[in-house]
């Protein structure tokens, strides 16, 4: 019940569509509402930041 709330628009309650996926783990991390155009904040995965920083260091 708590998690289900993340999947509906805070403004109008419509279901959200995926707007962006995490580049590292490819899970959806940002959503938008077709009905009113509301866009959620991008979720930051701390694990993925660590991985992405590691990649940056390796490729540098
Ligand atoms: Zn991620
Ligand atoms: Zn909405």
In order of 23, 37, 56, the CA distances from 34 in angstroms are: 23, 6, 35
First to last CA, the chain: 44
pTM attached to this predicted model: 0.73
Ligand nearest to the CA of 13: 2
Classify residue 4 by burial, with Cβ atoms within 10 Å: 0-12, 13-18, 19+.
exposed
**Ligand 1 centre from 25 Cα, in Å?**
4
From first to last of its 60 residues, what are the pLDDT tens digits of the chain? 344 456 899 999 999 999 999 999 999 999 999 999 999 999 999 999 999 998 777 665
Taking the domains of the chain in order of start, what are their residue ranges?
Answer: 3-59
What is the CA(48)–ligand 2 centre distance, in A?
28
């Amino acid at each position: 019940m708590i998690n289900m709330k993340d999947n509906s628009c805070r403004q109008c309650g419509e279901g959200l569509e995926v707007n962006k996926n995490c580049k590292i783990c490819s899970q959806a991390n940002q959503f938008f509402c077709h009905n009113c155009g509301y866009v959620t904040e991008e979720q930051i995965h701390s694990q993925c930041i660590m991985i992405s920083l590691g990649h940056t260091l390796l490729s540098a």
